[in-house]
Amino acid sequence: MQIETYIISIGLLAGWLATGFFLYRAANKAYARGFDRGVRLARQQHASSPSCTIADHELMTKITTSLGLAVATWQAFPGTEAMVTKVNKQRRQLTAFAAKMWLAAYPAQLNAEDAA
């Protein structure tokens, strides 16, 4: 082989190595930037206002009241015992869920008097 072939081969190899190195660094930098952006977005969403508002809680409470009225109506008719049992269970579950959402969004504040 001639010297020009060796020079071209070494130059190509050096170019490929440099390209690989810089692509590796660019990929790591882009990954870190995307990861940081995702972490920042998660923190912003966590710090934002609670997902359960007072209006949501009131709506769930009104639905529970409507289910209670439905149960009171169905109890007057024979043959609806299965439906009454099912709706009573759903009403209890909805009430518990509304309370759980409320406590998750607005945790109780401890007073110094309550702690003592």
Over the chain, what HEC string results?
CCHHHHHHHHHHHHHHHHHHHHHHHHHHHHHHHHHHHHHHHHHHHHHCCCCCCHHHHHHHHHHHHHHHHHHHHHCCCCCCHHHHHHHHHHHHHHHHHHHHHHHHHCCCCCCHHHHC
Domain count, the chain: 2
Looking at the structure, tell me whether residues 72 and 106 fall in a common domain. yes
- Mean pLDDT of the 11-16 span: 96
Higher pLDDT, 110 or 105: 105
Looking at the structure, tell me whether residues 12 and 41 fall in a common domain. yes
User: Could you report the per-residue pLDDT of 29-79, keeping only the tens digit for each?
Assistant: 988 888 888 888 888 877 766 667 778 888 888 888 888 888 888 888 888
Looking at the structure, tell me whether residues 19 and 66 fall in a common domain. no
Q: Across the chain, what does the average pLDDT equal? A: 84
- Residue 10 sits in which domain range? 1-48
Looking at the structure, tell me whether residues 56 and 105 fall in a common domain. yes
Which pLDDT belongs to residue 11? 95
